[in-house]
Structure 1
Amino acid sequence: MKEVKIGVIGAGWMAKAHTMAFRNAVSVFGTEFGVPVFEVIADINEALAKQAKESLNYNRYTTDWKEVITDPTIDLIDISTPNSMHYEMAKAALEHGKNVFCEKPLSISGKQSRELADLAKEKGVVNYAGYSNVMNPANAYVEELIKTGALGQVMRVTATYDQDMLLDPDLPITWRHINRLAGSGALGDLGCHLLSVFHVLLGDIEKVSGMQSIVIPERAVSKGSKEKAVVENDDIIQFLCKYKNGAIGSIGSSRVATGRKNYFYYEIQGTQGSVIYDLQRMGEVQVYFKKDEGRDCGYRTVHLNPYHKGFSAFQPAGGIAIGFDDMKILQAKEILSAVTTGTDYACTFEMGAKVDSIVDAVLKSIETGEWEEV
């Protein structure tokens, strides 16, 4: 049993989600992959840091994130801050030879993310990008269908990730609306999750052509204020893409999608079969195989079950629901295992840099009105 001392930077919602995932990973998987020790949590807001220290049961707190990175006792730096802070913090952690778990995106530009990926490779430390949807047993099942040839040659993908959390025009502006803080809007906040999953399933994208819509161009600077600020980035994004394996796709995302709460949906069509997945029906994958054509042809529902990677850690039989947070538990277990035993993982900074380079290419294509290579 090896202890992994964790230092978290940022004491908000994501810090809580990460902490609970690490704690629950021990409950689900035991101590074989390491035991997290919640050493220190940092936030510039001292009241928030102190409250998180107490509620999440950290040994101590600080208001200086650099103290966490320079602490020689810390084994893993967990970066759970807003987007614009990731680059500086991750770079400093890597330069100090720390293992790093960084929430997505790695940075607000593909260039910065490429720098982090190269530095992580040079340092030889664990470098994990926080794309938890990759850990979904449903996506592992679809990956198996693709890589074993059960779907034949993948021809086409259509996908969207939609929420309506910012549909209300009276909601005040936040850092998510400002490019220097967020990098992009719906694309970098939601659409990137689709890109991470498709990177694992389909490989690299070759080129893209995108368009965007800013539905609510101005928002109040604060709740109840009559002063307005400009919304700088996409409420809705849509782009065409071509993968290096020849597949073509249409991928979109919206943060103002009326009626949609967490609609992560995709359809992948192959020459021998197709799949449909909707995260809001997390335990079901719709599958069609051409070989079953006949009187009873059509899509059928596959219920996630212990035959699917990751599922049996939570439930003993098929059709019993697993939850959204279970993906984060699988993620935490994978990170602990990488730190303590050196096991491989898909969500490297290299993958994160590729996702961010796609985001850059889509944004550039919107500016130029042309297809852009990734």
Structure 2
Amino acid sequence: MDVRIGLIGAGWMGKAHTSAFANALMAFGPEYGTPVFEVVSDVSEDAAKAAKEQLGFARYTTSWEEVIQDERVDLIDIATPNAFHYEIAKAALTHGKNVYCEKPLTLSAEQSVELAQLAKDKGVVNYVGYNNVMNPANAYIKTLIDKNKLGKIVKFSGTYDQDGLLDASLPITWRHINKFSGSGALGDLGSHLLSISQYLLGNIENVNALSKIIIQERPVKVGSAEMAEVENDDVISILANYQNGAIGMISASRIAAGRKNYLAYEIQGTEGSVYYSLENMNEVHVYFTGDDSADRGFRKVFLGPDHKGYSAFYPAAGIAIGYNDMKVLEAHELLAAVTKGTSYACDFEFGANIDKTVSAILVSAQEQRWINVHEKGGITV
């Protein structure tokens, strides 16, 4: 079965999505659907034309509305900057299209809840690109939790730190402006950690957060003496209560000296603990109180073919997979949902709950008090 794709946004993420679809076909075969690159759209005609030629799309346009209305398109792939997700996704759902939207779903909890409900009403596939959820390490850890190998979960602690914006001379971008990004380190990095914790432990009930803007001004362009105000968080730290009774300590920084892609977390339970870091992507560290060797501390488990998703790439354990491979697994799950009606974790409801949590964190940081994530109503998983 062909799945005809209309890509909106021809930048880096649009290329990553397209590559993931092509590689999903090679890794899993046409049984789960054959991606057909029907049309690509971008506000820049040069970018759209280049994407058509480089990525293999049949046509290009500068109008995303044309892509939405095209009867030859089965799946709308939204890879635009954050601020445009809501308008495009709503139009796509209204036209009865399946929708694949890069994270975040929208910049407000209310809009995300609206889209989640509309997707339910339309009965179409609706997928948010929280690719870290698809990491085989997380599938393995979820199995440990679901089989009660860790006992009652007591604590989740994690951080996502990078130093990509540590240099104060780097110019301001859309990521620093709230109307385009929604938040800073929280939305760009912390939301990935929130997606993992939500996938593994369920929803957060309430939060108490502290955020700081460390670099308060940046040049308007490279080498310029003219400065512009940075509007959102460089660093954020969050205390959380989960609905399952666990407590959480979550943080994110985009100015963490020496950290390149440090997404790391530990889950502690009454009968065991697990630790994972994306910088050592192929290793999960586990400790079980019932092991004969329990007094020796954590032991290392290498990801391998027995862990969900891994065998699509390698036949033997210990060979590291990468970021793009998680996108491949994401594209495969999406294609399978469209062609076979299979289930998937990161639907719009999942994304809406993350956006509700992000919204509560932002209010908490501003008002310096505990905020209930679901106090404004809406949907929950």
TM range (shorter): over 0.9
Deviation readout 1:261-319 (Å, 9 max, x if unpaired) = 11010000000000000011111000000012657521000000111111111111111
Which one is further off, 3-12 or 219-228?
Answer: 219-228
Q: Distance in 1 between matches of 2:293 and 2:183?
A: 47
1:43 alignment partner in structure 2 = 42
2:247 counterpart of 1:273: no
2:115 counterpart of 1:116: yes
For 1:59-138, list aligned pairs within 5 A: 59-138=58-137
Q: Distance in 1 between matches of 2:323 and 2:358?
A: 25
1:303 alignment partner in structure 2 = 302
Q: Counterpart of 2:31 in 1: which secondary structure? A: coil
1:15 alignment partner in structure 2 = 14
For 1:70-219, list aligned pairs within 5 A: 70-219=69-218
For 1:308-327, list aligned pairs within 5 A: 308-327=307-326
Are the aligned partners of 2:130 and 2:346 in contact in 1 as well (CA < 8 Å)? yes
What is the percent sequence identity of the aligned residues? 61
Q: Distance in 2 between matches of 1:147 and 1:67?
A: 45
Q: Counterpart of 1:292 in 2: which secondary structure? A: coil
1:371 alignment partner in structure 2 = 370
2:362 counterpart of 1:360: no
Deviation readout 1:232-264 (Å, 9 max, x if unpaired) = 000011100000110001000011111111101
2:291 alignment partner in structure 1 = 292
Q: Distance in 1 between matches of 2:264 and 2:211?
A: 19
2:378 alignment partner in structure 1 = none
Letter in 2 for 1:189: D
Are the aligned partners of 2:208 and 2:238 in contact in 1 as well (CA < 8 Å)? yes
For 1:236-247, list aligned pairs within 5 A: 236-247=235-246
Q: Distance in 2 between matches of 1:130 and 1:295?
A: 38
Say if 1:7 and 1:110 are closer, same or farther in 2 by CA, change over 3 A: same
2:338 counterpart of 1:339: yes
2:379 alignment partner in structure 1 = none
Letter in 2 for 1:55: Q
Q: TM-score, normalised by structure 1?
A: 0.99
Measure how far apart 1:192 and its partner are.
Answer: 0.5
1:30 alignment partner in structure 2 = 29
Say if 1:224 and 1:31 are closer, same or farther in 2 by CA, change over 3 A: same
Are the aligned partners of 2:288 and 2:294 in contact in 1 as well (CA < 8 Å)? no
Measure how far apart 1:323 and its partner are.
Answer: 1.6
Q: Counterpart of 2:314 in 1: which secondary structure? A: coil
Q: Counterpart of 2:241 in 1: which secondary structure? A: strand
Q: Distance in 2 between matches of 1:123 and 1:293?
A: 53
Say if 1:295 and 1:273 are closer, same or farther in 2 by CA, change over 3 A: closer
Deviation readout 1:180-199 (Å, 9 max, x if unpaired) = 11000000011001111111
Q: Distance in 2 between matches of 1:220 and 1:49?
A: 29
Deviation readout 1:106-131 (Å, 9 max, x if unpaired) = 11111111111011011000000000
Q: Distance in 1 between matches of 2:5 and 2:306?
A: 33
Measure how far apart 1:57 and its partner are.
Answer: 1.1
Deviation readout 1:160-184 (Å, 9 max, x if unpaired) = 0111111110111000000011000
Give the root-mean-square deviation of aligned CA atoms. Answer: 0.8
Say if 1:150 and 1:170 are closer, same or farther in 2 by CA, change over 3 A: same
Q: TM-score, normalised by structure 2?
A: 0.97
Q: Distance in 2 between matches of 1:140 and 1:77?
A: 27
Measure how far apart 1:361 and its partner are.
Answer: 0.3
1:349 alignment partner in structure 2 = 348
Measure how far apart 1:55 and its partner are.
Answer: 0.8
Unaligned ranges ≥5, structure 1: none
Q: Distance in 2 between matches of 1:91 and 1:294?
A: 54
Deviation readout 1:321-345 (Å, 9 max, x if unpaired) = 1122111111101110111111000
Letter in 2 for 1:88: E
Letter in 2 for 1:219: R
Measure how far apart 1:213 and its partner are.
Answer: 1.0
How many residue pairs are counted as aligned between the two chains?
373
Q: Distance in 2 between matches of 1:372 and 1:197?
A: 21
Q: Distance in 1 between matches of 2:190 and 2:33?
A: 33
Deviation readout 1:130-170 (Å, 9 max, x if unpaired) = 00001000000000000100000000011001111111101
Letter in 2 for 1:124: G
Measure how far apart 1:225 and its partner are.
Answer: 1.4
Are the aligned partners of 2:287 and 2:294 in contact in 1 as well (CA < 8 Å)? no
2:257 alignment partner in structure 1 = 258
Q: Distance in 2 between matches of 1:295 and 1:271?
A: 13
Q: Distance in 2 between matches of 1:323 and 1:362?
A: 30
Letter in 2 for 1:186: A
Q: Distance in 1 between matches of 2:335 and 2:293?
A: 48
Q: Distance in 2 between matches of 1:13 and 1:294?
A: 46
